[in-house]
C-alpha cells in the first residue's frame, strides 16, 4: 500500500486461508490503512470488497445521492449486504456467513489490492477468472485506449 495525495492505494495480492471460525487474517500492509473500522460488502464479481471508512463514505454518498427511482436496486444491493468490521489483536476479521457464501469463500482465499479498496476472492475463482484471464488483456487495452490512458 502506498499513499497518493493523502489517500490509500492498495495493490498486490496475498494468499491466505479462512480459519475454522470463519476469520481471515488481513496482511499487516493493509491493516494500518484500513484503520479501526472498515466495511465489507459484496462485489459485482463473485468477490468481497473491503473499503477503509473514508473510502466507504465517498462510495456511500454517491449511492445515497441517486434518485430512488433509479438507485433503489443499487442501494439495496450494497447497503443491505454490508458489514461494518474491525480486526482483532491478531489481525483477523470475521466475515459473515452471507458474505462468505456469496463469494464462495471456503478455505483458500486471495486478498487483492485494487486501488482504493481490497478484494477478497475464493482462490479457485481468482485463479480461474483473474490469473487465468489472459484474454482480458485485450479488453483492458481497448478500454484504456478509449479512456486515453
Helix (H, G, I), strand (E, B) or coil at 73: helix
Which of 7-11, 80-84, 102-106 has the weakest average pLDDT?
A: 7-11
Q: 50-57, long-range: CB within 8 Å, 24+ apart, which pairs?
A: 50/26, 50/85, 50/117, 50/118, 50/119, 50/120, 51/116, 51/117, 52/8, 52/116, 52/117, 54/7, 55/7, 55/8, 55/116, 55/117
pLDDT of residue 40: 98
Mean pLDDT of 22-48: 93
Between 4 and 96, the higher pLDDT residue: 96
> Helices H, strands E: what count in the chain?
6, 10
- pLDDT confidence band for 119 (50 / 70 / 90): very high
pLDDT of residue 133: 63
2-123: what fold? Chemotaxis protein chec (3.40.1550)
The mean pLDDT value of the chain amounts to: 88
- pLDDT confidence band for 6 (50 / 70 / 90): low
Question: Which residues, other chains included, contact 67 with Cβ-Cβ below 8 Å and sequence gap of 6+?
Answer: none
End-to-end CA distance of the chain: 22
Asked if pLDDT for residue 109 goes beyond 60, the answer is yes
pLDDT in tens, 15-32: 999 998 999 999 998 998
pLDDT in tens, 50-96: 999 999 999 999 999 999 888 899 999 999 999 999 999 999 999 99
C-alpha cell at 27: 496482511
67-71, 99-103, 132-136, 144-148: which has the highest mean pLDDT? 99-103
pLDDT of residue 1: 45
Amino acid at each position: 500500500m502506498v499513499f497518493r495525495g493523502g489517500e490509500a492505494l492498495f495493490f498486490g495480492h496475498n494468499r491466505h486461508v479462512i480459519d475454522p471460525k470463519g476469520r481471515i487474517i488481513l496482511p499487516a500492509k493493509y491493516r494500518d490503512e484500513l484503520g479501526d473500522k472498515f466495511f465489507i460488502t459484496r462485489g459485482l464479481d463473485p468477490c468481497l470488497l473491503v473499503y477503509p471508512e473514508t473510502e466507504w463514505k465517498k462510495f456511500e454518498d454517491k449511492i445515497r445521492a441517486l434518485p430512488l427511482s433509479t438507485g433503489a436496486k443499487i442501494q439495496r444491493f450494497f447497503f443491505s449486504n454490508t458489514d461494518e468490521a474491525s480486526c482483532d489483536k491478531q489481525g483477523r476479521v470475521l466475515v459473515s456467513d452471507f458474505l462468505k457464501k456469496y463469494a464462495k469463500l471456503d478455505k483458500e482465499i486471495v486478498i487483492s489490492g485494487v486501488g482504493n479498496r481490497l478484494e477478497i476472492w475464493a482462490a479457485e475463482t481468482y485463479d480461474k477468472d483473474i490469473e487465468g484471464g489472459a484474454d482480458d488483456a485485450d479488453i483492458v487495452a481497448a478500454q484504456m485506449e478509449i479512456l486515453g490512458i
